[in-house]
Amino acid sequence: MSDRIRIVVADDHPLYREGVVRCLDEDPDFTVVGQADDARSAIEIVTRERPDVVLLDLSMPGGGGMAALKAIRGLDPAPVVAMLTVSENDDDVLQALKAGALGYVLKGVGGRDLLAIVRDLAAGRSYVSPTLAAQILNAMRDGPRQPAHPVDGLSKREQDILRLVSGGLSNKEVGRELDLQEKTVKHYMTAILQKLHVRNRTEAALIARDHWNN
């Protein structure tokens, strides 16, 4: 047991979190020593358990995954942290990597790939999902971009979702259109509202319609 890679998994979606935990626990190389459903709990559990690797959702209650990342990376010694998230936004990836995340993994990853990624992370190797790698390299090369409008600063997936929401579709209907789970759509919508600095989906839809119709 002592030579196993010790992991904490933090995600506020119970079904997804439990699936990740099951996948890891079934492999003899890993043992999950803690689970958290918000940022504060993640920091407390990591501080207490001192795992080797932390898998951290980006958008969580209790301060958010970015705040948890910074606090966890401030520990001495600090564990390896990888973001396990749905966000494909360049700024989210760059911000996480600059704050000390060694990995940025999209939630669509398969179980076998996730096990290989965690092994690499534990060995000190970095990982960014291949679909994001090229755009991140371009973003780092070109420097910070200031979009002309907040809607233009959304990722392509976020814009696709916002277009459907602006057309009057519910989260469930959006999920059906884009082959996403309703909870995943809700997750994206939370990020969209934060980035547009609006309080609800109606305000977001109005901003989007005004921008796209001009």
Asked if the domains 5-139 and 150-213 are classified in one and the same CATH topology, the answer is: no
Is the distance from CB of 88 to CB of 157 less than 8 angstroms? yes
pLDDT digits (tens, 9 = 90+) for 109-131: 889 999 999 999 999 999 988 87
Class of domain 5-139: alpha beta
Phi-psi region of 157 (alpha: psi -120 to 50; beta: other; left: phi over 0): alpha
Q: Which of 19, 17, 23, 26 is nearest to 45 (CA)?
A: 17
pLDDT the model gives residue 140: 58
Please give the mean pLDDT across all residues of the chain.
87
Taking only Cα atoms into account, the Rg of the chain, rounded to an integer number of angstroms, comes to: 18
The secondary structure element, H or E, covering residue 207 is helix 201-213
- Fold exhibited by the domain 150-213: Arc Repressor Mutant, subunit A (1.10.10)
Q: What is the mean pLDDT of each run of 10 residues along the chain (214 residues)?
A: 84 92 94 94 94 92 87 91 87 86 90 93 89 69 62 86 93 91 88 87 90 80
pLDDT the model gives residue 148: 65
Strands of the 30-36 sheet, one edge to the other = 30-36, 5-10, 53-56, 80-85, 103-106, 127-128
pLDDT the model gives residue 76: 87
pLDDT digits (tens, 9 = 90+) for 31-44: 999 999 999 999 99
Its pTM surpasses 0.85: no
Domain positions in the chain are 5-139, 150-213
Residue tagged 């990376």 (tokens)? 73
Length of the chain as a residue count: 214
pLDDT the model gives residue 138: 65
pLDDT the model gives residue 171: 92
Is the distance from CB of 136 to CB of 145 less than 8 angstroms? no
pLDDT the model gives residue 139: 60
pLDDT the model gives residue 37: 92
